[in-house]
Amino acid sequence: MILPIDFLPLLGLHWRYMNGAIVVKQSPVILFRNFVFIEILGFVGYFIAVALGNYKYEFYTKLSFSAVLPYQTAKLLFLLGAELAMTAYAFLRWHRESYAIQPGTITHGWGVFFIKKKTSPLRREMKVMLSSGFLGNLFHYGTVNIYDAASRITLTVANISTPQRYLKIIERFLDGENLPREKIQNVEQLLSQDEHERLEFKSSLRFDLHGQKVNRDLERSVMKTVAGFLNSKGGNLVIGVGDAREPLGLKHDYETLNRPTSDGFENHFTQIFNAMIGPEFRHLIKLRFPTVHNQELCVVSVAPSVRPIYLKLEDTEHFYIRTGNVTTPLKMSEVESYTRSHWLRRVS
């Protein structure tokens, strides 16, 4: 089984991808900084306790369990418990704080015992700027500030690793935009072109015109193309077009579906997409059904993904890209190099 490589170390970022959103956590340097602060508080507390002298001992002897637990033991247990509690609090506060970035919104989650969430909109008129102090410059973390049209800060994505890359991503997500989509072209314009890196034609989604039956290999071929577009620069896949770019329509595909309509076609497309690629990437795909010469076609517009996409075929995962007018599989040894060059170049 080919396993996908971990994308996070390639970018040097502390994040994960979940439900279509990039979930960002604060830099681990912040956790270390909090631990240092706790140790300082511990030393201060200790010296305050020493300054109290016999008062703390006299107070302890009035407690009911003082006869069972010696004072020195109780003092040690208290100091250990206090430091453990402060350490656990600092870790949970860091661990549970995150920012979910997706087209049009950022959701800030925080809390220790109860998670609170605040969702803020991203609008086109907003501006995004980066701030970083001495430690941030030294350890490569900082804060992304988001300003409204009146130049007031409306949201901060604080203390995240390599914030300049997230700044670029947030800028592309303003006003619900994802990474730049393939320009929507008139279907006649698409049919007037030869296949190229961002354009491919398929005669059908699942009905084999030669064998006159449903062929699951055709569905896999469509998903390979979609995965290739996702891993490259995006593109348009036109379904229902013959070898000479003549409109064949979707009639035969419709007849194989429970609902022989464009809605049924899109629903089936979504099902196989979710199974082979994943529902978290479905928002990168848009289907439309124009009519040419009385034949209904399907144009699948694919936006480039912000991370590698793996196509699941049975128990194996494959990686595809577009090279010219073909969809090309990469070996595992080639994927890492491509991932570094392609996504680092696009996000930086």
- Using one digit for the tens of pLDDT, what is the confidence trace for 239-281? 999 988 999 999 999 999 999 999 999 999 999 999 999 988 8
CATH assignment of 7-26+97-176? 2.30.29
Contact 204, 253 (CB under 8 A): yes
Numbered ranges of CATH 3.30.950.30 in the chain: 187-347
Contact 15, 24 (CB under 8 A): yes
Beta strands in the chain (DSSP E): 15-18, 21-25, 98-102, 105-110, 116-121, 127-131, 141-147, 153-161, 199-202, 207-208, 213-214, 235-239, 285-288, 291-292, 295-296, 298-302, 311-313, 316-318, 320-323, 326-329
Q: What confidence tier does 114 reach under pLDDT thresholds 50, 70, 90?
A: confident
* CA gap 265, 288 in Å, rounded: 11
Identify which of 95, 96, 101, 128 has the alpha carbon closest to the alpha carbon of residue 24.
Answer: 101
Arithmetic mean of pLDDT, 61-77 = 78
Packing angle, helices 71-95 and 28-51, rounded to 10:
160
Numbered ranges of CATH 2.30.29 in the chain: 7-26+97-176
Q: What is the pLDDT of residues 273-332, one digit of tens each?
A: 999 999 888 888 999 999 999 999 999 999 888 788 999 998 899 999 999 999 999 998
pLDDT given for residue 51 in this prediction: 72
Q: What confidence tier does 11 reach under pLDDT thresholds 50, 70, 90?
A: very low
Contact 31, 25 (CB under 8 A): no
Q: What is the pLDDT of residues 85-104, one digit of tens each?
A: 888 988 998 988 999 887 77
- Domain at 187-347: CATH architecture: 2-Layer Sandwich (3.30)
